[in-house]
Amino acid sequence: MSAESVFSLRNRWFITAVGITAGLFLLTAVVGLIVLPYAQRDVTFTSIWDAICSAAGVPQVRSSAAPVQPDFKVSTVVVTASMLGQPSQESIGRGATLAQQCAICHGPVGVSRADSPNLAGQYASAIYKQLKDFTSGARVNAIMTPFAVSLSEQDMVDLSAYYAYLPRLPAYHPEQGKPAPRIVVNGAPMRNIAACGSCHGALDNKAGSPWLEGQSAAYIRTQLQAFASGARRNDISQQMRNIARQMTPEEIDEVAQYYASQPPQSRRASSE
């Protein structure tokens, strides 16, 4: 009963088993790769080879027309969770110097008193992405854009490193103890809104989603309204626009108040 006699053309079992298996594969392959593609009425193939490639899943461009280009700038920044992870001291130092031009609006330690967004302790990747978008024109703001356009790539990296390095200071007017709105912890499944906390921290943080606690209510409200109206459209794959469009004005107000009132230390929202 050695293996040799099994793998032999004189072994009927071997011939039969291999024959049936190969036959079945060929049959299913012919049906799946040739017969079924041609059975689709709405597709025309240039050749049988074309049909096989299509059914095998080779990427193909079916239309010769150029893809429709949007009439506005789209964000082209690729955000990954580990980007700008370990900044050098030198980079942080350079960022601190550069940040002096930003201090009038974003505050000397990255905490603003003028409803400009707080930057202290913000994720480096989030700051970097926004600066890139301001520079490219994917995000537009009459006050902020002029300050971003002159920044070099290295400037943006350094500024992001510096602000991310700053401690998250208490917000200007914290008013604690409010229960988290349902939309923050649960989202609204029937409207396809995932819990805000599942991207923005508290439940979980997903790369590219900025940290919101302690941001001024006016700023959060404006941003959500801008996402909803399409005035701001630099969010990749419409992550925020799809959400903001589905939110009611009351909900926007509620989350703005809630996030504004949250102490910056709070990383995990309580479930109540």
In 3D, which of 244, 191, 256, 241 has the Cα closest to residue 75? 241
Q: Give yes or no for a contact between 98 and 175, defined as CB atoms under 8 angstroms apart.
A: no
Three-state SS letters, 24-37: HHHHHHHHHHHHHH
CA–CA distance, 168 with 122 (Å, rounded to integer): 8
Choices 27-35, 66-74, 170-178, 220-228; region in contact with ligand HEC by CB under 6 A: 220-228
Select from 67, 70, 177, 189 the one that contacts another protein (CB under 8 A).
189
- Asked if 271 is part of the footprint of another protein (rule: CB under 8 A), the reply reads yes
Q: Give yes or no for a contact between 216 and 172, defined as CB atoms under 8 angstroms apart.
A: yes
CA angle 32, 36, 42 (to 5 degrees): 145
Select from 9, 78, 142, 143 the one that contacts another protein (CB under 8 A).
78
- Asked if 135 is part of the footprint of ligand HEC (rule: CB under 6 A), the reply reads no
From the list another protein, ligand HEC, none, partner contacted by residue 111 (C-beta under 5 to 8 A by kind): none
- Asked if 217 is part of the footprint of ligand HEC (rule: CB under 6 A), the reply reads no
From the list ligand HEC, another protein, none, partner contacted by residue 120 (C-beta under 5 to 8 A by kind): none
In 3D, which of 270, 113, 121 has the Cα closest to residue 197? 270
- Asked if 48 is part of the footprint of another protein (rule: CB under 8 A), the reply reads no
Choices 30-38, 46-54, 228-236, 263-271; region in contact with ligand HEC by CB under 6 A: 228-236
- Asked if 157 is part of the footprint of another protein (rule: CB under 8 A), the reply reads no
Select from 111, 131, 171, 217 the one that contacts ligand HEC (CB under 6 A).
131
Contacts (Cβ under 8 Å, ≥6 apart) of 256: 217, 218, 220, 221, 224
DSSP string, 32-84: IIIIHHHH-TT---SSHHHHHHHHHT-------SPPPPPSS----PPP-TTTT
Which lies closer to another protein via its Cβ, residue 7 or residue 61? Answer: 7
Interface pattern 167-196 for ligand HEC (x via CB under 6 A): ----------------x---------xx-x
Give the CA distances from residue 254 to residues 77, 118, 178, 182, in Å, rounded to whole numbers and listed in that order.
31, 19, 11, 10
Contacts (Cβ under 8 Å, ≥6 apart) of 239: 199
- Asked if 152 is part of the footprint of another protein (rule: CB under 8 A), the reply reads no
Which lies closer to another protein via its Cβ, residue 107 or residue 264? Answer: 264
Which lies closer to ligand HEC via its Cβ, residue 159 or residue 180? Answer: 159
Q: Is 136 exposed, middle or buried (0-12, 13-18, 19+ CB in 10 A)?
A: middle
The 3-state DSSP class for residue 188 equals strand
Which lies closer to ligand HEC via its Cβ, residue 55 or residue 144? Answer: 144
CA–CA distance, 163 with 152 (Å, rounded to integer): 17
Please report, as ranges, the residues that interact with another protein according to CB under 8 A.
1-3, 5-7, 11, 13-14, 17-18, 21, 24-25, 28-29, 31-33, 36-37, 52, 54-59, 78-83, 85, 123, 182, 185-186, 189-190, 195, 198, 201, 203-207, 267, 271-272
Residues lying near ligand HEC in the complex (CB under 6 A): 101-102, 104-106, 116-117, 119, 127, 129-131, 141, 143-144, 147, 159, 183, 193-194, 196, 198-200, 206, 208-210, 212, 220, 222-224, 234-236, 239-240, 243, 255
